[in-house]
């Protein structure tokens, strides 16, 4: 695991955007795994800037997002479809038919999740997977539990995740209770993983992710088993490391 420190959220975002940009330049037909949440917003801003300056061509890039709320349609402003459209896809030259998220509007969880894994496999797998870190150590929406769940699946969101994500909704009651998420194996099969962590509130969990035991109680701890992980974290998130 390569641990890279950044002095601020902005510098973390810039470094992450440079890593993703280098992937796109080195392999213009890359398959990227993308993430939502507050953490990658700055990274997407830099990627949009690089694209406007003419440094990046997304025309052959394919993307798969980690997750989507169940029962939420793509044109709902709370959906992760909407997040990705507004924060990134509408501002770069990517073909919309090459951007994929789990189909939260499909109430048939088994069908929606199986289809998603098949699509990732058919695309040749993920070259670079971007991840944020939940306060409880979740990645995608793989919540702490008694086992690691392999494939894309439907998950019941934990009270801590519902609480953390209520800031994007009008209160807790409006946060969907379920989501479709890539599984741990889906994520671990990515050739490279880039984990971004920002803020004091993630310091304790980041320490557990990197130095703690590998356990489904801290889902991101499984990343210790991956051979090509880069963590970029700001000073606050790294404050427990000494």
Exposed e or buried b per residue across 68-78, where buried means at least 16 C-beta atoms within 10 angstroms of its C-beta? bbbebeeeeeb
Q: Which residues, 6 or more positions from 147, have their beta carbon under 8 angstroms from its beta carbon? A: 216
Task: Please pick, among 143, 153, 165, 234, the residue that the annotation labels catalytic.
Answer: 143
Nearer to ligand GLP, 39 or 152 (CB): 39
Nearer to ligand GLP, 17 or 133 (CB): 133
First-to-last C-alpha distance (Å) of the chain: 17
Q: Which helix (H) or strand (E) segment is 159 a member of?
A: helix 159-165
Of the ranges 33-41, 144-152, 218-226, 227-235, which one interacts with ligand GLP (CB under 6 A)?
Answer: 33-41
Residues 49-68 that bind ligand GLP (CB under 6 A): 66-67
Task: Please pick, among 65, 127, 138, 153, the residue that the annotation labels catalytic.
Answer: 138
Which of 132, 137, 176, 219 is in the footprint of ligand GLP by CB under 6 A? 132
Nearer to ligand GLP, 13 or 36 (CB): 36
Which of 33, 42, 104, 134 is in the footprint of ligand GLP by CB under 6 A? 134
Query: What would the x/- binding string for ligand GLP be over residues 88 to 127, using CB under 6 A?
Result: ----------------------------------------
Q: Which residues, 6 or more positions from 139, have their beta carbon under 8 angstroms from its beta carbon? A: 66, 131, 132, 133, 184, 187, 195, 219, 220, 223
Of the ranges 3-11, 12-20, 32-40, 228-236, which one interacts with ligand GLP (CB under 6 A)?
Answer: 32-40
Q: Which helix (H) or strand (E) segment is 81 a member of?
A: helix 80-87
- Asked if 84 touches ligand GLP (CB under 6 A), the answer is no
- Whole-number minimum distance, CB 60 to ligand GLP, in Å? 25
Alpha-carbon gap, residue 92 to 70, rounded angstroms: 27
Which of 30, 36, 43, 129 is in the footprint of ligand GLP by CB under 6 A? 36
User: Count residues contacting ligand GLP (CB under 6 A)?
Assistant: 14
207 is catalytic: no
Alpha-carbon gap, residue 207 to 117, rounded angstroms: 31
Nearer to ligand GLP, 54 or 171 (CB): 171
Nearer to ligand GLP, 62 or 181 (CB): 181
SS3 letters across 217-241: CCHHHHHHHCCCEEEEEECCCCCCC
Alpha-carbon gap, residue 195 to 39, rounded angstroms: 10
174 is catalytic: no
- Asked if 221 touches ligand GLP (CB under 6 A), the answer is no
Alpha-carbon gap, residue 40 to 197, rounded angstroms: 9
């Amino acid at each position: 695991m390569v641990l890279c420190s950044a002095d601020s959220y902005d510098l973390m975002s810039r470094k992450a955007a440079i890593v993703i940009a280098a992937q796109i330049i080195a392999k213009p037909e890359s398959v990227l795994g993308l993430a939502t949440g507050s953490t990658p917003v700055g990274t997407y801003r830099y990627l949009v800037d690089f694209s406007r300056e003419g440094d990046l061509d997304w025309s052959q890039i394919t993307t798969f997002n980690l997750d989507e709320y169940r029962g939420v349609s793509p044109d709902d402003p709370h959906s992760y479809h909407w997040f990705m459209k507004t924060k990134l896809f509408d501002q770069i030259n990517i073909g919309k038919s090459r951007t994929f998220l789990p189909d939260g509007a499909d109430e048939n969880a088994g069908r929606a999740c199986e289809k998603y894994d098949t699509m990732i496999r058919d695309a040749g797998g993920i070259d670079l997977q971007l991840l944020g870190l939940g306060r409880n150590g979740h990645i995608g929406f793989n919540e702490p539990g008694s086992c690691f769940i392999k494939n894309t699946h439907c998950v019941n969101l934990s009270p801590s995740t519902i609480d953390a994500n209520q800031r994007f909704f009008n209160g807790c009651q409006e946060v969907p209770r379920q989501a479709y998420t890539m599984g741990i194996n889906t994520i671990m099969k990515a050739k490279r993983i880039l984990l971004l962590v920002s803020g004091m509130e993630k310091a304790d969990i980041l320490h557990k992710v990197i130095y703690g035991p590998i356990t489904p109680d801290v889902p991101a701890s499984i990343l210790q088993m991956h051979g090509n992980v880069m963590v970029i974290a700001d000073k606050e998130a790294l404050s427990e490391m000494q």
